[in-house]
């Protein structure tokens, strides 16, 4: 059966198990340590074996009507585990956040009535909190101070005036903290709506929450709020307006002092999104320096973001036909890009196509796996077409034709709209191969190749993100149409 106590023990690390061993060993209820050791020996089991645990603990046969004895021991042990885990988590968080650790130190001084030290340390901590806009802890620290003043100070009008000023200050901290939390959730909402809009283009991005307008004066002074508003606004915009907004955000983010926000990481995000905006405008040369500036900050970028930034950079380089540079980037970023298994087929496809465009057939062949996996499906159909190209470039045209027919049959079998681009690619390739083997007169041959080239070019223009094999086929048809 499933049991909370047993489940928690199975999730503890070796270090945590050793620490808890020491804690529970010194517990006044000695039966808990004995129960813990029995459960520890059974932790490899999928479920708690109640009769066995009962018999080991009480050294007598299991009796169902006496099961409540074991349940009570498990409940008490579970309580001790919960307390231990909560303390461990708090230790971890305070170790990772110096200001939080300092706050608990100040709180401990107050609890131990070390009032002189408390007065010195809270002032030092408050200064640090306000420098980093940590209004949440500033609010909580002010709460300690107010309660201390009410409890310990002589009750006079001056004392109450001081307390009143403290309360007003505390309210300002609360407003600032709320505003920061609100703008952060507004950002998450805008990001989520932007994602939905990618699937439903008619979806409108909401206006910034009207609550934000209640504190205009505070907003004007708060760089974090100003920065987040620009970041949110960027989701609503496209093209040059989006770029201008992101540029403004770059100017502001360096002034943001907030523990939860790393300006360098944010700058990388802004630069990468400016690059993407230029990429979507078709201004690939303009995009390049922004891609490169963003990736230069790689030490401050999360792995998943670094992968996305790298692929966008690669897309720009592919548009500019800088295939050698793409291969270099794929090699430099391989630790990041190959970390996720779903990226591996995509990288192989890109490498193969770059080698093909560079006329490096053997290097392209080396990227083709012995067995092409069916998932992810896009890369499966992509790689299968690369096999068609390889046969063709080996001058094994009949093998290329057979492979392309098999490729088309596999697509037709799926009957999936998302494979339309690959289907069109196969159909255009069939027509191309037919012209190659029919051998009409040179005039008709060139005319038909030119017509096929026009149709393919028109199709590529209609595609929002034409795949590289389409570009390769277009270049090959163009080459044949100029044959003398």
Of 233, 229, 207, give the one whose Cα is nearest residue 220. 229
SS3 241: helix
Burial letters for 266-276: b for 16+ Cβ neighbours within 10 Å, e otherwise? bbbbbbbbbbb
Residues 57, 90, single domain; the answer is: yes
Q: Which domain holds residue 372?
A: 367-484
302 in a domain, yes or no? Answer: no
**Is 278 domain-assigned?**
no
Name the domain boundary from 197, 222, 247.
222
> Does 1 have pLDDT greater than 60?
no
Whether 156 and 85 share a structural domain? no
Cis check for the bond before 230: say yes or no (omega within 30 of 0). no
C-alpha dist (Å) from residue 483 to 174, 474, 478, 479 = 76, 15, 9, 7
CA distance 28 to 177: 44
Tell whether 151 and 163 lie within a shared domain: yes
Sign of CA dihedral 152, 158, 160, 162: negative
Statement to judge: residues 138 and 75 lie in one domain: no
Among 96, 121, 137, the domain boundary falls at 96
Q: Let me know: does 201 contact 234? Beta carbons within 8 Å.
A: no
* Residue, of 447 and 299, whose pLDDT is higher: 447
Query: Does a structural domain hold residue 37?
Result: yes
Give the Cα separation of 41 and 36 in Å (integer). Answer: 9
Pairwise CA distance, residues 435 & 449, whole Å:
8
216 to each of 145, 211, 222, 226, 283, how far by Cα in Å? 29, 10, 10, 11, 37
Residues 466, 378: one domain?
yes
Q: Give the number of other Cβ atoms within 10 Å of residue 19's Cβ.
A: 15
What is the rounded CA–CA span in Å between residue 271 and residue 243? Answer: 9
Query: 226 and 270 in contact (C-beta within 8 Å)?
Result: no
CA atoms within 13 A on the CB side of 79: 8
* Residue 316's pLDDT band (cuts 50, 70, 90): very high
| Residue 238 belongs to some domain of the structure | no
CB 48 within 8 A of CB 70: no
pLDDT digits (tens, 9 = 90+) for 95-107: 878 899 999 999 9
The answer on 464 and 388 residing in a single domain is yes
- Two tokens at 454? 């026009």
- Pair 59, 20 in one domain: yes
Domain count within the chain: 3
60 assigned to some structural domain: yes
Q: Structure tokens of 37?
A: 């050791």
My answer on whether 461 and 386 are in the same domain is: yes
pLDDT in tens, 384-436: 999 999 999 999 999 999 999 999 998 888 877 778 888 999 999 999 999 88
Token digits of residue 421: 């681009």
Mean pLDDT value across residues 454-479: 84
pLDDT in tens, 227-243: 998 999 998 899 999 99
> Helix (H, G, I), strand (E, B), or coil: what is residue 205?
coil
Query: How confident is the model over 455-459, as a mean pLDDT?
Result: 88
Domain-ending residue, one of 187, 222, 257:
222
pLDDT in tens, 233-288: 998 899 999 999 999 999 999 888 887 788 889 999 999 999 999 999 999 999 99
In this structure, the answer to whether residues 131 and 38 fall within a common structural domain is: no
Q: How many helical (H) and strand (E) elements, i.e. helices and strands, does the chain have?
A: 24, 0
Q: Which of 298, 278, 301, 300 is CA-nearest to residue 290?
A: 278
User: Cβ neighbours of residue 323 under 8 Å, at least 6 residues apart?
Assistant: 317, 354, 355, 357, 358
Question: What per-residue confidence (pLDDT) applies to 218?
Answer: 62
Q: Are residues 114 and 56 in the same domain?
A: no
Are 36 and 103 members of one domain? no
Is the same domain home to 133 and 90?
no
Residue entry with tokens 């009207």: 210
User: What does the pLDDT read at residue 314?
Assistant: 93
Contact 237, 191 (CB under 8 A): no
- Tell whether 275 is covered by a domain: no
Q: Is the full-model pTM beyond 0.75?
A: no
Q: What's the mean pLDDT when you consider all of the chain?
A: 87
Would you place residue 214 in the very low, low, confident or very high pLDDT band (cuts 50, 70, 90)? low
Task: With respect to residue 239, please indicate whether it lies within any of the assigned structural domains.
Answer: no
Q: Is residue 51 part of a domain?
A: yes
* Contacts of residue 30, Cβ cutoff 8 Å, sequence gap at least 6: none
Per-residue pLDDT at 206: 67
pLDDT at position 299, please?
A: 77
């Amino acid at each position: 059966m499933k049991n909370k106590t047993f489940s928690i023990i199975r999730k503890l690390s070796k270090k945590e198990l050793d620490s808890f061993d020491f804690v529970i060993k010194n517990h006044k209820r000695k039966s808990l340590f004995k129960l813990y050791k029995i459960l520890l020996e059974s932790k490899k089991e999928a479920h708690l074996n109640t009769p066995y645990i009962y018999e080991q603990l009480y050294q007598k046969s299991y009796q169902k009507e006496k099961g409540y004895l074991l349940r009570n021991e498990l409940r008490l042990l579970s309580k001790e585990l919960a307390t231990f885990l909560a303390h461990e988590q708090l230790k971890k968080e305070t170790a990772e956040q110096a200001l939080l650790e300092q706050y608990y130190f100040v709180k401990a001084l107050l609890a131990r009535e070390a009032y002189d030290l408390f007065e010195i340390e809270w002032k030092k901590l408050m200064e640090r909190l306000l420098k980093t806009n940590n209004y949440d802890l500033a609010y909580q620290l002010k709460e300690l101070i107010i309660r201390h003043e009410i409890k310990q100070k002589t009750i006079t009008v001056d004392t109450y005036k001081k307390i009143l000023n403290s309360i007003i200050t505390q309210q300002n901290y609360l407003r600032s903290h709320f505003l920061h939390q609100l703008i952060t959730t507004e950002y998450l909402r805008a990001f989520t709506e932007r994602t939905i809009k990618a699937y439903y283009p008619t979806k409108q991005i909401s206006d910034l929450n009207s609550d934000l307008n209640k504190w205009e004066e505070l907003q004007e002074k708060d760089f974090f709020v100003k920065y987040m508003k620009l970041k949110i606004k960027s989701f609503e915009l496209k093209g040059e307006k989006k770029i201008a907004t992101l540029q403004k955000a770059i100017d502001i983010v360096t002034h943001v002092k907030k523990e939860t926000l790393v300006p360098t990481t944010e700058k990388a995000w802004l630069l990468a999104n400016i690059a993407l905006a230029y990429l979507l405008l078709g201004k690939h040369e303009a995009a390049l320096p922004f891609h490169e500036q963003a990736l230069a900050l790689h030490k401050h970028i999360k792995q998943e973001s670094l992968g996305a930034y790298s692929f966008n950079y690669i897309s720009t380089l592919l548009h500019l036909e800088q295939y050698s540079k793409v291969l270099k980037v794929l090699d430099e970023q391989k630790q990041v890009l190959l970390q996720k298994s779903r990226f591996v087929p995509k990288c192989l496809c890109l490498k193969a196509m770059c080698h093909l465009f560079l006329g490096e057939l053997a290097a392209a062949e080396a990227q083709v796996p012995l067995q092409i996996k069916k998932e992810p499906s896009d890369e499966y159909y992509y790689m299968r077409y690369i096999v068609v190209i390889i046969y063709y470039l080996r001058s094994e045209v009949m093998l290329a034709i057979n492979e392309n027919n098999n490729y088309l049959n596999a697509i037709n079998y799926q009957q999936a709209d998302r494979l339309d681009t690959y289907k069109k690619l196969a159909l255009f390739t069939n027509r191309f191969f037919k012209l190659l083997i029919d051998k009409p007169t040179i005039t008709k041959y060139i005319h038909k190749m030119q017509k096929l080239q026009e149709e393919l070019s028109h199709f590529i223009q209609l595609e929002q993100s034409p795949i590289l094999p389409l570009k390769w086929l277009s270049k090959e048809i163009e080459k044949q149409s100029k044959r003398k």
